[in-house]
Homo-oligomer: A and B are copies of this chain.
Amino acid sequence: MDTLTLQNPLVATYAIAATLMILKAVGMSWLTVARMLQANGGFRSPEDIRKTPLNPNPDPAQLQPNERVERIRRIHQNDLENLPFFLAAGFLYVLTLPPLWLAQLLFYGYVLSRLLHFAAYLSAQTHDLRATLWTIGSLILVFMTCRTLLAALGV
């Protein structure tokens, strides 16, 4: 690679996609917190029903699963199953020196597929739609990974 700097357009493209995906994943933690506050429940640890300034009227029911919170946890788990691998695969893919337009198509296409997957999951669209959006992102990830593997093998 020429140089590993953000002035390198390939690296910058990767960095934009990667940081957006990191913010997306971290956003799920914050959204979980927001929904736990709204529901005043959906907690998970026994100590979470101790009386504190942030929980002045604790109740054992606060430890019951709350579907609005659980939905975000499922979305979050889907991120954990996908995004760390995109972050690594995308960086390695940059080392194959793809044409910039292709890198942009794959990286931004991946980001878009994940944001649409989020929207579909959050609003409880059909399994079919959610699975289709997930598949697009996963195929982009598999393509980049296979391309990098072949390049590393010198094929």
One digit per residue, 1 when the CB lies within 8 angstroms of any chain B CB and 0 when it does not, for chain A 49-68 equals 01011110000000000010
Min CB distance, A69 to chain B, in Å?
13
Q: Is the CB–CB distance between A6 and B127 below 8 Å?
A: no
Taking the full assembly, how many copies of this chain does it contain?
3
A15 to B19, CA, bound (A): 19
Task: Give A141 to B21 CA distance when docked, in angstroms.
Answer: 13
A19-B148, A88-B84, A131-B33 known; A47 and B124 CB under 8 Å?
Answer: yes
Main secondary structure of the interface of A (DSSP, over half): helix
A15 to chain B, nearest CB (A): 4
Which residues on B sit within 8 Å (CB–CB) of A67?
A: 46
